[in-house]
Amino acid sequence: MKIAFIGLGNMGGGMAANLAKAGHDVRAFDLSDEALARAVEAGCTRAASAAEAVAGAEAVVTMLPAGKHVAGVYESDVFPNAAPGTLLLDCSTIDVATARSNIEAATAKGLVAVDAPVSGGIAAANAGTLTFMVGGTGEGFARAEPILAKMGKAVIHAGDAGAGQGAKICNNMLLGASMIATCETLALAQKLGLDPQKFFDIASVSSGQCWSLTSYAPLPGVGPTTPADNGYAGGFAAALMLKDLRLAMEAAASVDAAVPMGSKARELYEAFVEADKDGRDFSAIIQTLQK
């Protein structure tokens, strides 16, 4: 299948490479020459512009920083160049309102669009083991599923337009709040004189068990190997967690939802990201709670 891929950064680079590896004809474009060169090395075809990538493509995947980038590329490059019926898959994490308006605008132009944000970081993007949460019509999902399956281990239809982004920010709000709860709990256990590994062994099989503890323990030498064992490098940057928490707060305000824990998590990550100049993993926030 001829697939345009726009946005070949940390995530998009690996994703486009996996589509090429699966035998698709991937026409890649990024504003960064370096990112584009890596994609070409990985088997994609270089496009001189987003417009050139889109012309003649049966599907268009975008993996861009934020809603304004996706809306901009759709308006200036995708809508004027996509043939009627072309499938648009936006895998970026963006605000629910822009995701919905993008899909509405695409539908009005005779295109079929879905929002398909991902869970999983750069390693999962490279390995093709992302989880995709898809919002859109049944037809959109049916067409998107086989393409997304080449880049992920799970592809789930979350609901109508925007539901993928809704699921993504709800999941990450839960993750942000549970990571902070895990960090402050481990810090307290240490101050109470408990051996952290011993507490890990107990909580892992007790009612406090959660993913942030058992799969992503924020202390070095405790539990499985995580970014904590690597000086908090790699993993999921705290700035990206903050981005998702801000999107969650925006969405919560739009529907008047009470999110006191999410709001506190946003506040704590705002302070952490402001102070941390190393772009560390989001679990490094434990160091601010150990003081």
Q: Which residues bind ligand NAD (CB under 6 A)?
A: 6-12, 29-32, 35, 50, 63-65, 69, 73, 92-93, 118, 121-122, 236, 240, 243
Cα torsion through 73, 77, 80, 84, rounded to 10: -80
CB of 202 to ligand NAD, least distance (A): 31
Do 81 and 56 meet the contact criterion of CB atoms below 8 Å apart?
no
Please identify the residue of the shown chain whose CB is closest to the bound ligand NAD: 9
User: Which residues face 130 on adjacent strands?
Assistant: 152
Compare residues 186 and 249 and give the one whose CB is closer to ligand NAD: 249
Beta bridge pairs of residue 90: 62, 115
Residue nearer to ligand NAD on the CB measure, 31 or 289: 31
Sequence-ordered list of residues with C-beta below 8 angstroms from that of 146, at least 6 positions apart, any chain: none
49: three-class secondary structure by DSSP: coil
Closest distance of CB 132 from ligand NAD, Å: 11
Least CB distance from residue 228 to ligand NAD, whole Å?
17
Active site residue 168: yes
Smallest gap from Cβ 242 to ligand NAD, in A, equals 11
Q: Which of 2, 150, 153, 168 is catalytic?
A: 168
| Other beta carbons less than 10 A from residue 207's beta carbon | 6
Question: Residue 93 or residue 98: which is nearer to ligand NAD going by CB?
Answer: 93
CB of 196 to ligand NAD, least distance (A): 26
User: Closest Cα partner for 251 from 93, 26, 43, 124?
Assistant: 93
Nearest-5° Cα angle at 109, 108 to 115: 75
Contacts of 234 (CB under 8 A, 6+ apart): 122, 123, 227, 281
- Quick one: tokens of 153? 């281990």
Distance CA 229, CA 36 (A): 32
Q: Which is nearer to ligand NAD, 174 or 194 (CB)?
A: 174
Name the residue nearer to ligand NAD (CB basis): 71 or 187: 71
Catalytic residues: 168
